Structure 1
Amino acid sequence: MFTELSGGETKQQVREATEMPMSGVEHKRVKPPEAIASPVPSIRPQATGQSGASVTRTECPSPAFPDIPTRRPDMHECTRDGKSVPLKRPVVDERINTASSAFDLFCMSTSVRGMSKLRTGPRFLRTLWLVYVTSMTGLLITASVLMVLDYLNYDVTVHTRVLLDDRSPFPALTVCHHHPFSYEAAHLWRRNQILSPTKFNRYLRQTTLGMLSTADYRLYHFSLMFDTLNIYYQNLVPEDAVRLGHNTSIFWNCMRMVDYADIQFEHDCRLLTGYRIRQFSHPVYLNCHTFEPLTRRDSESITFFSLIVRMGPKESASPAEDHEQAFLPDIFEQAKGLRVAVHEAGSRPDLRKHGLHVEPGKLNEINYEPIRWKKMNTPRRPCLRPNETHQFRDLHVVYNYSQAECIELRKQEKIMANCGCIFMEMPRPKVPHIGLPYCANVMHNFTLDELVRRMGCLANHLMNVSQNSDIREACRPVCDYYDYASTISITKWRAQSWKIYWLRVQNMLLQELATAQAVCSDCRISDSPEFLRYKHYLSRESFSQLPNISELTELSPTGSIDQVIGQPSEQLKLDGDEFAYVVLKRKSDNTVEKYEKLVLSLPVLLSRLGGLCSLSIGLTAAFGVELIEFLYLLLERRRAGRRRKVKSTRRLQPIAEPTVGNTGFREHCNNRVDKGGITSECGDWKRQESDALAADPNSQISKMRSCDINSLLDSRQNLGRILDQCIRRIVSEALVEQRTAIKPYKSAACQTLRDNL
């Protein structure tokens, strides 16, 4: 640093180095105190021994520069006789355990954007960076909390894709008649075995008249409100309601196609291979029938299913014989034809939601598109994979689990428990009886007060939103299920009566021959009556002329028309409104899959958090390693400080009384000065030392001061190093303590050194 001790250029360089501003700290030249104002003794050559060899002098701290060596544990001190000995008391940095020291270490250890700017620079810039780091950290924490809460909500979105050449299970088809009464119903009403609609309407009018006669106007509209088909159904015995409805004989013919090649016709739909028919009781349509595949393998191979359905008996043209003079409010919903629904096999059909009207006398083609739903099982909205244990019962029919039916069943159980009746629109886990009737039953043990109580209780449970929300939470949706989006197209069917008849006869004869062959495998089939009837069919020249009753009777071995398989042409009702043709087919072999995905999945959450951290304060995954590094360095610093403190305590000698030349006391005073203040006893010692030096320049104190200065300024290199240490010391202390001006006692040492150069 210095190349020449004697010369104006070198001294000028030293003065410029000591006077330059340091990191924004205002440098003030302070006059050195009197204790160190005396001129520095000249540097004399070091004494040599007898051999003439130069003896190296160990550096000693100078009283004129108390601030420099007290921070250096490797420095030495001079005794009374001018000898240099190591300090017995190691220097301990008392600030290593403070919060500011830990903060400085953290700023140096972390890569967080802006943290390193908080230690250096002007106050304005440090304040600016502090505001930036604080605001960005607050923004980061707030946005991260909101993002995590959004993730824990587990919101999902529905994605759609088409699976090509993916055979889905063939759906079930439920068929109900708008006119629900069968041919047998009129005979039952005529024999008074079952209450007819006409008599039920008469009973309602008489009851209303009795209410008005007693001035009870609570249900003055009783006869109008209760004169509906579903109320009539609720006042029947469940077995009688089944007897009044249609049975499977209403279906003339069934056909199915497998893999676009194998076709099967059946005159009795119960014989259709791979299918089963389930009959259930409905409060509006009485008996409905569901055609559904038996197994999943059978359902995946079916491509086409058709039905020829009769419409049932016509309404009586004679008012005297009409047993259906009732149901006046139903005039707005009465229709002619069928009500069909396409739904998943094994499930309870919802005719209100999925029902389609089928026009009689027309070809009604129903095309469906299978939709596979895949729900996501999340903690907030869990789903269920049902099995046999989750099935429920509606009267005598068992259905598979569904969320909608689970909700309805829970409501029904509450109504049964609190109202003492069964609501006909929901699944009925128990068969109604006198002790637990339908809620609208007015025929058995009827009182007006009881009816009013039931209606009020029923309305309360149906309109209780909070209770219904609890039920919806208890019933989970199914994870995987199929839905069938169906469309119907109607056109004129140009089939002729003789074609329908002979197709039915052919199916009957073939089935009869197969049965006879199975019963008697050794018998000659040509001698059987089944073969004679089949031969009559095969040898017939024209199909346009249908056989009459007498012709069919001759073919029967006993002459009984009941044993004749087939119907004579006189009994066929093939008018335009007497039948309906229903076709159910796939649109394609493709399947539309709708599956749920999380809006904010874990990878997306991490990606967004990473972008937010990078945008705000530049926080990365390495911050975790930096935090560990900071804790490690902080712990090691505190451990080193404790070790030095223990060592200092062991080596520390008692401080002697304040006498002139006492180096231990001098070190004590220097430390007190370094802490920012000087006591009266230390000030007295300083003055005594200065007075002794002025009275006797050759005294022991003068020798010690000469020792100190000579040891510090022993060479040009030592002089440059000491001056550089002085400057750096002042700068670092001013930055750490955040002071705008250097203390006089710190700048005095460097100023004295500069003036004496």
Structure 2
Amino acid sequence: MHPPRVLKDYSSPFPSVTLCNMRPLSSEGRQQLRQQGWKYPRDFSESLELFARNLYFYNESTKYVYYNFSGSMGFPAYLESLPRSASRDIGHTLQDFILDCRAVIRNGSARNLKFCSPEYVWGGKGSDMFAGNFHAFLHGNYMNCYTLDLHEELRDNTTMVEMAVYLDNEWNLDNFNCVDCYTMDISTQLSGAVLTIHSGDTYPDVNHEAIHLKAGSLTEVKLKHVLNVQKQAPYGRCSQDTQRNLNLFGREYKYSEDACRQATIQRDILNTCGCQAIEYPLVRESNFTYCTGLEEFLRSDGCNWATAENDQKRLADCSATLQKVYGYIRCKNDVISKYSKDVVESCTLPCSFTATRPSGRHPTGRPGRSSCACSTAGSTAAC
């Protein structure tokens, strides 16, 4: 196998930028949960754990079922149990999260400032007034994430993007209680935003390539572009027939090997188990079941061990729900285990592709070719 030829500091169009709030529930969202009579995420998980423990753990013949459930009781399971449109109401909206967004466009020796998308232009009209568009997608841990894709004709001349981001971490009782935190998952106890910089129009790898922006700080991220040139078989694993696009979350993304890998796993889970896992991008937007969807445990007056243990019908109904989901979980884990290696044979590499990498972060690091400047003040962040 020949190693890829890599050209660093390669001139390339300005990439896409994705932002997620590390605290998935908005202040208004927490109020919505209370009004709907739904449990908070941590209460949901504690209720589910108690039910599964009493049902399975204390019996040696079923203890293994409890251990299978124990890894599936976090925020993703809660999100899969919500009604499909609920994330729009209880998560952060674009305008509440990203208060302002502007792009600096080079025009000869001049530098022009454009709003990033119609949401930041008065009246939302005039395509010459904005530089691109935001697209929302659902993340298994952060819920509502937003990607800025600049207009293709402006990317070569874009030198910087500046955003003002509101983190919604005011000092109130709900934040002190941390209703969406989990003891066993340290990352859920953090606040701030995660920033992912990736090639234009591609699906972001938020879990592995994001940069943490903490509240009360000024962050400037410098970028460098790397051109990777691969060889075809038998000397390498690139292909001239690599597909150009992937359909995820109901929209077209440009092809990337990582997104193809995630979509392949999701499609295999859907075809084999009949459900989708929120940890991976959705390949079908409607008429599907989530693998750990436990709607019966969502409501405060729903499945709870304290009420079900003395009600045989409710106990039977709630137990049947858990048993069904347990089947999905086992099937999903079996599918995922087939992809323990990073390489998925059906997801070939393009023979030439550009990767975007941070080359420095303020106050350290050397300048790159283009930058995303981020600053935070109190519970407001600008990036």
TM-score, length of structure 1 as denominator length: 0.40
Opposite residue 396 of structure 1, the aligned amino acid is G
Cα distance change on mapping 1:242 and 1:330 into 2, 3 Å: farther
| Aligned equivalent of 2:156 | 300
Separation of aligned partners in 2, 1:162 and 1:185: 44
Pair 315,440 (structure 1): closer, same or farther in 2 beyond 3 Å: farther
1:363 to 196, 218, 227: 218
Q: Is the 8 A contact 1:422 1:432 kept in 2?
A: no
Q: Is the 8 A contact 2:202 2:254 kept in 1?
A: yes
Corresponding position: 1:475 with 2:321: no
In structure 2, C-alpha distance between the alignment counterparts of 1:226 and 1:162, rounded to whole Å = 41
- Tell me which amino acid in the other structure corresponds to 1:472: V
- Which among 20, 33, 41 is matched to residue 189 of structure 1? 33
2:371 maps to none
CA deviation after TM superposition for structure 1 residue 214, in Å: 8.1
Contact 2:8 2:227 in 1 (8 A): no
> Which residue does 1:343 correspond to in 2?
198
The DSSP-based 3-state class of the residue aligned with 1:406 is helix
Aligned position for 1:277: 134
Where 1:329 maps in the other structure, the secondary structure is coil
Give the 3 Å change call, closer, same or farther, for CA 457–221 of structure 1 in structure 2.
Answer: closer
SS in structure 1 at match of 2:33: helix
Tell me the equivalent position of 1:455: 329
Identify the residue that residue 279 of structure 2 maps to in structure 1: 425
With over 3 angstroms needed to count, the CA separation of the structure-2 counterparts of 1:429 and 1:263, relative to structure 1, is same
Q: Which position in structure 2 is the counterpart of 1:262? A: 111
Match of 2:24 among 176, 180, 189: 180
Out of 231, 234, 238, the residue aligned to residue 84 of structure 2 is 238
The verdict on how the C-alpha distance between 1:575 and 1:392 changes in structure 2, with shifts beyond 3 A counting, is closer
Aligned residue number for residue 577 of structure 1: 378
The alignment's C-alpha RMSD in Å is 3.4
Q: After the TM superposition, which residues 315-354 of structure 1 pair with which residues of structure 2 at under 5 Å, given as runs?
A: 316-317=172-173, 324=179, 327-354=182-209
Residue identity in the other structure for 2:164: I
Contact (CA 8 Å) 1:311, 1:579: kept in 2 or not?
Answer: yes
Count of aligned pairs: 337
Instruction: Note the C-alpha offset of 1:197.
Output: 2.0
CA 1:465–1:406: 2 relative to 1, 3 Å: closer
What corresponds to 1:396 in structure 2?
250
Distance in 1, matches of 2:281 and 2:180, equals 30
Relative to its length, the structure with more strand (as a share) is 2
Q: Sort the Cα spacing of 1:162 and 1:185 in 2 relative to 1 into closer, same or farther, 3 A.
A: closer
Match of 2:292 in 1: 440
Q: 1:383 to 1:473 in 2, by over 3 A?
A: same
Structure that is richer in helix per residue: 1
Q: Is the 8 A contact 2:15 2:199 kept in 1?
A: yes
Pick from 253, 259, 267 the counterpart of residue 100 of structure 2.
253
> How many Å separate the matches in 2 of 1:225 and 1:370?
38
Matching residue of 1:5: none
Which amino acid in the other structure matches residue 395 of structure 1? F
Mind listing any 5+ residue stretches in structure 1 that lack a counterpart? 1-154, 493-573, 583-757
Higher Rg: 1
> How far 1:191 moved relative to its partner?
1.1
Aligned to 2:368: none
Residue 306 (structure 1) shift: 0.9
Provide the rounded CA distance (Å) in 2 between the counterparts of 1:377 and 1:270: 45
Partner amino acid, structure 2, of 1:330: D
Structure 1 227/287 Cα, relative in aligned 2: closer, same or farther at 3 Å?
A: same
Q: Aligned in 2, Cα 1:301/1:193: closer, same or farther, shift over 3 Å?
A: farther
In the other structure, the counterpart of 1:314 is 170
Report the identity percentage. 18
Contact 2:81 2:292 in 1 (8 A): yes
Partners of 1:169 and 1:300 in 2: CA distance: 4
Q: 1:190 Cα shift?
A: 2.5
Secondary structure at 1:483's aligned position in 2?
A: strand
- In structure 1, what residue type is equivalent to 2:104? M
Contact kept in structure 2, 1:392 and 1:398, CA below 8 Å: yes
* Aligned pair partner of 1:406 in 234, 243, 260: 260
Q: CA–CA distance in 2 between the matches of 1:478 and 1:318?
A: 48
Q: Distance in 1 between matches of 2:185 and 2:80?
A: 16
User: What TM-score results when the alignment is normalised by the length of structure 2?
Assistant: 0.76
